[in-house]
Chains A and B, each alone.
Chain A
Amino acid sequence: SAVISQKPSRDICQRGTSLTIQCQVDSQVTMMFWYRQQPGQSLTLIATANQGSEATYESGFVIDKFPISRPNLTFSTLTVSNMSPEDSSIYLCSVAGEGGGEAYEQYFGPGTRLTVT
């Protein structure tokens, strides 16, 4: 399966600031997703990152708060804007469709642990 890296692995940020998280895959993939895992909770999909066009956001998530880019088939960024303590979570990217194959199996990056003070 694809090797996925995320930067940074963790960060502590002041409220009101923004943080951009990078997701890099070692091979081309059809689909990339961003999830949030709040403390002690399950994963919730934020959006599907679409190459060359605007991301598709799930209910409750908006582009102004979580702008996403996907300039090519191996890279995506998620920005958490104007942060508040409620944004403290683990943010994970996932990929599917390695090598342009069927996009049923998703593989996850190691996550970015964000703490907002």
Chain B
Amino acid sequence: AQSVTQLDSQVPVFEEAPVELRCNYSSSVSVYLFWYVQYPNQGLQLLLKYLSGSTLVESINGFEAEFNKSQTSFHLRKPSVHISDTAEYFCAVIGSARQLTFGSGTQLTVLP
């Protein structure tokens, strides 16, 4: 069985400040990890993924996440956020039957 814990339900941050959204996982199978983003009143978009290889993965809009096996973490970071980054962010882990288990989500609010 697998589970995902997102430690912060709400993260307010000022524009151009750095941000880290925390994610810890547990899994009894090979670990494949994902971050999804949900903008207000929209569906889920895949932001980035870790399947294998380099433990640092990046998205096209400046977010990055690092897979840390020893700490069972997959934290999401961005060095400088924009107002448009305001959204709900979900961390997820995949199970043996390819089903996704999601964390409870973190609402990132970027303040002007």
With a cutoff of 8 Å between Cβ atoms, the chain A residues found around residue B97 in the complex are 48, 56
* Contact digits for A91-106, partner B, Cβ 8 Å, 1 yes 0 no: 0101011000001111
Interface-facing stretch out of A11-19, A65-73, A77-85, A108-116 = A108-116
Q: Quick one: given A43-B90, A92-B44, are A105 and B49 in contact (CB under 8 Å)? A: yes
Give chain A interface residues in 36-88, CB to chain B under 8 Å. Answer: 41-45, 48, 56, 58
State the Cβ distance, B23 to closest chain A Cβ, in Å: 12
Smallest CB gap from A90: residue in B: B43
Tally chain A residues at the interface, Cβ within 8 Å.
Answer: 25
With a cutoff of 8 Å between Cβ atoms, the chain A residues found around residue B99 in the complex are 33, 45, 48, 58
The answer to whether B43 touches A106 (Cβ under 8 A) is: no
Q: Main secondary structure on chain A at its contact with chain B?
A: strand
Does B84 have its Cβ within 8 Å of any Cβ on chain A? no
The CA-CA distance from A7 to B64 in the complex, in Å, is 34
Interface-facing stretch out of B13-21, B54-62, B65-73, B102-110 = B102-110
The CA-CA distance from A107 to B102 in the complex, in Å, is 14
State the Cβ distance, A101 to closest chain B Cβ, in Å: 12
Does A25 have its Cβ within 8 Å of any Cβ on chain B? no
Smallest CB gap from B45: residue in A: A108
Chain B positions near chain A (C-beta within 8 angstroms): 32, 34, 36, 42-46, 49, 51, 90, 94, 97-105
19 contacts between A and B (CB under 8 A): A31-B98, A33-B99, A42-B90, A42-B105, A43-B44, A43-B100, A45-B100, A45-B101, A48-B99, A92-B43, A92-B44, A103-B98, A104-B49, A104-B94, A106-B98, A106-B100, A108-B44, A109-B43, A111-B43
Chain A positions near chain B (C-beta within 8 angstroms): 1, 31, 33, 35, 41-45, 48, 56, 58, 92, 94, 96-97, 103-111
